[in-house]
Amino acid sequence: MIPDRSLEVLRAIVSDYIATREPVGSKSLVERHSFGVSAATIRNDMAFLEDEDLIHAPHTSAGRVPTDKGYRVFVDRLSEVKPISAGERQAIETFMTGSADLDETLGRTVKLLSTLTNQVAMVQYPTLGKASIRHIELIPASDTRILMVLITDSGRIQQHVIELNEKYEEAVIAEVRAKLNALLIGVALNRVDEKTKGFSLTFEPVRRAVVELILQNLLEQVDANRQEKIILAGTSNLVRREEDFPGSISPVLEAIEEQMVLLKLVTEMQAEQHGVSLRIGRENTFEGLANASVVLSGYENHGTEMAKLGVIGPTRMDYSSNIAAVRAVANYLTKALGN
Amino acid sequence: MIPDRSLEVLRAIVSDYIATREPVGSKSLVERHSFGVSAATIRNDMAFLEDEDLIHAPHTSAGRVPTDKGYRVFVDRLSEVKPISAGERQAIETFMTGSADLDETLGRTVKLLSTLTNQVAMVQYPTLGKASIRHIELIPASDTRILMVLITDSGRIQQHVIELNEKYEEAVIAEVRAKLNALLIGVALNRVDEKTKGFSLTFEPVRRAVVELILQNLLEQVDANRQEKIILAGTSNLVRREEDFPGSISPVLEAIEEQMVLLKLVTEMQAEQHGVSLRIGRENTFEGLANASVVLSGYENHGTEMAKLGVIGPTRMDYSSNIAAVRAVANYLTKALGN
DNA sequence: TATTGGCACTCTACAGGTTCGAGTGCCAAA
DNA sequence: TTTGGCACTCGAACCTGTAGAGTGCCAATA
């Protein structure tokens, strides 16, 4: 167990360090906070915290800096999440109102989150979930191309152009369209595959090639629902915080520019818990993010699809504000998508 | 007029500076290039170039660095555009094949361009142009929502969800769809507005409100074709070139993150000339780009729509390689979209 | 007239040295 | 368990001197 006063000292060290970016020493600590004990006593506590690997001295005879583990204890046990201010609430509300389109809503959300936190913000597109098919449309787009539109009951709409290598008869398209809808409306996305087994056999042999091609494209689209995507905003905030990244920010920028890394990150953290989850420094398995922290929260789309949104910043970030902002934005987004 | 040898000296200064990032002095200049004259003579030439504001000394008794004007003379009169290498050609071809979708093609293109040049790459989505309507589709998406799909003869497909505040009859939708197509197929986008004047009057009065709403959404979509969009890749390359941006790269990052700035830039440069066009340093009207250069080229979508693509990097960039890459990618993209 | 070698001068980058102050660890006393 | 005291450490800031690259100018030269 960590004694109470030592925990208080840790809290003080973290908040001072976040505020000043200077390693904090025993003397300035007692000056700024009223512990009711002398600097020497604090030094003993600090020695204890150092033994526990919660703080760390960049070099002999320097002040102390929180370790990743120290930040972790801080956020888990010490920090209170600040309620967001009236102004922020106001900002969120004006920002989120009046956009019907999923793309636009998410675009605004990510921008909002980055403005609110002054960090890099990310929003994951909603994924599959329990959604089912509401409607499938096939529209001739040119002599050899067909536009396929897939509408799910979560309100998501996907479009895709199918390239045929030959001309087609409109009648086939109409027939396929009718049969597909009859077969699939109300069917959950993850059951489309089994439902359409043998589908092309219900057509005349000469038409089966075209039907197969359309079906294949449909399955791809259904699957693309699983394929995930993340949008970003506020990359320049990273540069403004450059001095918080020892070494270089280059690896961080590379990491966040790489969809795969972010997706992996999001998926890993998905499992952890509901509400806001955190990765601090080296808790991120990806090397490039060793000096970065990630704050994530889930949000819902129509109660069926689930995805994440959050911010990335230096380990030395204002956790309580950022957690509050991420939580608030996730709630508002869920509300905005819920209608 | 600038004497021939002085021009040669300028060329040597620019290429040495690009290669070494060091201000270049008269002595190292004669060592590396064989001018057949002594350093003292070169110094006279350099004094002349400095009078002409083509080079500039960062401080007394330092070597010289090209000014924006110096770079301009260099690219306009001195540099030969390197033909791209076989490897690069290969890379372009593998990269560009096998994507039907406009979004995906442009996404690949921008990634390719940034890999090729190691700079920040940008691609503007094609704009209006002379395209006309091939087909309009209206699809019920839920009780109160309709999906509208707009297909142009340039092959672009746009979708948009129309939110009605009340339930609608499917019959109205079918009627609107039929009449719209009868009226508008083959009509140029910029003439849709006039063509649809009084359109709702051909419907029963009780249905006019719905029709008006749909029409209004259609006009918005047509107009959205004019609304431009730019995608980026390789932002982290900017950070890797940080030392080439005196002061900070922060303003540059802000500028390129701001769609409006880029769009303005692209539009301004549109007018200038066909082929590759360039803005060097302060030639960019935007202050944040004072130390950046922009290389742009136009490309075509199906011969009708026209847009730009290019790279942004430090003024001290390898102009000939970048110009060659931008030109080549623009050509390949035009070809890829042309089918 | 254009070119050259020479020379005195300037400025930066770098290395070494010194000082200052914040901070530490430890110990003996309270 | 807390405290004051003390010797010690280390980095930041500052100075100083030197080496090297570069300049401008001038008188001599082709």
Enumerate the nucleotides of strand C whose atoms come under 7 Å of any protein CB: 3-6, 9-12, 21-27
Question: Coil, strand, or helix at residue B66?
Answer: strand
Helices (H), A249-318: 250-257, 259-270
- Whether the beta carbon of B61 falls within 7 A of nucleic chain D: the reply is yes
**B141 in contact with chain A, both atoms CB, cutoff 8 A:** yes
Q: Give bridge partners of residue A139 from the DSSP assignment.
A: A147
Q: Which of residues 111-140 of B touch A (CB under 8 A)?
A: 134-135, 137, 139-140
State mean pLDDT over A285-313: 90
Q: Strand C closer than 7 Å to the CB of A61? A: yes
pLDDT of residue A64: 95
Type and span of the H or E element at A339 = none
In this complex, is the C-beta atom of B232 within 8 Å of any C-beta atom belonging to chain A?
A: no
**pLDDT per residue as tens digits for the range B74-119:** 999 988 888 889 989 998 888 877 666 777 889 899 999 999 999 9
CA distance A32 to A19: 12
Q: Is the CB of A27 under 7 A from strand C?
A: yes
Gyration radius (Cα) of chain B, Å = 26
Q: Tell me the whole-structure pTM to 2 decimals.
A: 0.81
CB < 8 Å to B139, chain A: 135, 137, 149, 151
Report the amino acid identity of residue B245: F
Higher per-residue pLDDT: B141 or B57:
B57
List the single residue in B139, B141, B250 with the smallest CB-CB distance to A239: B250
pLDDT in tens, A159-197: 788 888 788 888 889 999 999 999 999 998 888 989 999
Pick the range with the lowest mean pLDDT from A18-22, A247-251, B35-39, B126-130: B126-130
- Counting one residue from chain A and one from chain B, the pairs whose CB atoms sit within 8 A come to 79
> Of the candidates B141, B151, B236, which has its C-beta nearest A147's C-beta?
B151
Measured N-to-C along each axis, helices A86-96 and A319-338 cross at an angle, to the nearest 10 degrees, of 40
pLDDT over 90 at A141, yes or no? no
For D2, which residue's CA is nearest its C1'? A41
Half-sphere exposure of A317 (CA within 13 A, CB side): 33
Report whether pLDDT(A101) > 80.
no
The reply to whether the CB atom of residue B57 sits less than 7 A from any atom in nucleic acid chain D is yes
Q: Which residue of B has its CA nearest to A236?
A: B253
B324: distance to nearest CA of chain A, Å? 26
CA of B66 to C1' of C9 (A): 25
Are A309 and A68 a contacting pair, CB within 8 Å? no
Residues A147/A170, Cβ–Cβ less than 8 Å: no
Tell the burial category of B240 from Cβ atoms under 10 Å away from its Cβ (0-12, 13-18, 19+).
middle
pLDDT in tens, B9-27: 999 999 999 999 999 999 9
Nearest-angstrom CA–CA distance, B193 and A265? 48
Whether B134 and A157 lie within 8 Å, measured CB to CB: no
CA-based nearest distance A314→chain B, Å = 17
Residue A157: which of B159, B239, B254 has the nearest Cβ?
A: B159
> Is the Cβ pair A160, B101 closer than 8 Å?
yes
At residue A160, the pLDDT reads: 82
pLDDT-derived band at B128, boundaries 50, 70, 90:
low
Beta-bridged to residue A136, according to DSSP, are A150
Lowest mean pLDDT among A45-59, A66-80, A85-99: A85-99
Indicate the helix (H) or strand (E) that contains A147.
Answer: strand A145-152
> Which nucleotides on strand D sit less than 7 A from a protein beta carbon?
2-5, 8-11, 20-26
B163 touches chain A (CB under 8 A): yes
> Is residue B52 pLDDT above 80, yes or no?
yes
Cα angle A174-A177-A178, degrees, rounded to a multiple of 5:
85
Each residue of B210-252: pLDDT tens digit?
999 999 999 988 887 776 789 999 988 988 888 899 878 889 9
Answer yes or no: is A66 CB < 7 A from strand C. Answer: no
pLDDT of residue B259: 86
Q: What is the DSSP letter of B147?
A: E
Which among B85, B250, B224, B181 is positioned nearest to A240, based on CA atoms?
B250
Closest-CA residue of chain B to A133? B141
Answer for A165: CB within 7 Å of strand C. Answer: no
Question: Residue B141 and residue B139: Cα distance in Å, rounded?
Answer: 6
